[in-house]
Amino acid sequence: MMMNMWFVILVMYLFGNMIFVSKYKHLLIVLLSLEFIVLSMYFFFLMFLMMLNYNMYMLVIFMVISVCEGALGLSILVSMIRTHGNDYFQSYNLI
């Protein structure tokens, strides 16, 4: 049972990385894939800390940091949509 959970966490992490690395056009999909990677890392830390019978206070700190990066990503997405009208990467001039 425990080996299946480690495998599921590994598959979640790899799928999140595959979506992030592949060439998607929208910023929202990239942000969702980053949140999926963070969720898989949260499950990894949960299983690891449960295996060691360690204090779960570190998970609270990790969750606070991940929520802050999610809010920052959404605020960047909203500001880009307000200024440019869409979230396509191809329509921005990066120079």
pLDDT digits (tens, 9 = 90+) for 38-63: 999 999 999 999 889 888 888 999 99
Would you state the pLDDT for residue 91?
A: 62
CATH number, domain of 40, equals 1.10.287.3510
Q: Identify the pLDDT of residue 90.
A: 65
In a domain, 33, yes or no: yes
Does residue 30 fall inside a structural domain?
Answer: yes
* Rounded-to-integer distance, Cα 32 and Cα 69, Å: 12
One-letter-per-residue 3-state SS of the chain: CHHHHHHHHHHHHHHHHHHHHCCCCEHHHHHHHHHHHHHHHHHHHHHHHHHHCCCCHHHHHHHHHHHHHHHHHHHHHHHHHHHHCCCECCCCCCC
pLDDT at position 87 over 80:
no
Residues 62 and 45 sit within 8 Å (Cβ to Cβ): yes
Q: pLDDT by residue (tens digit) across 1-30?
A: 678 888 999 999 999 999 888 877 788 888
- The answer as to whether 13 is a domain residue is yes
- Structural domain boundaries enclosing 26: 2-84
As for how many domains the chain has, the answer is: 1
State whether the Cα torsion 36-41-46-51 is positive or negative: positive
95 inside domain? no
Residue 21 counted as domain residue: yes
Q: What is the mean pLDDT of residues 35-39?
A: 93
pTM: 0.81
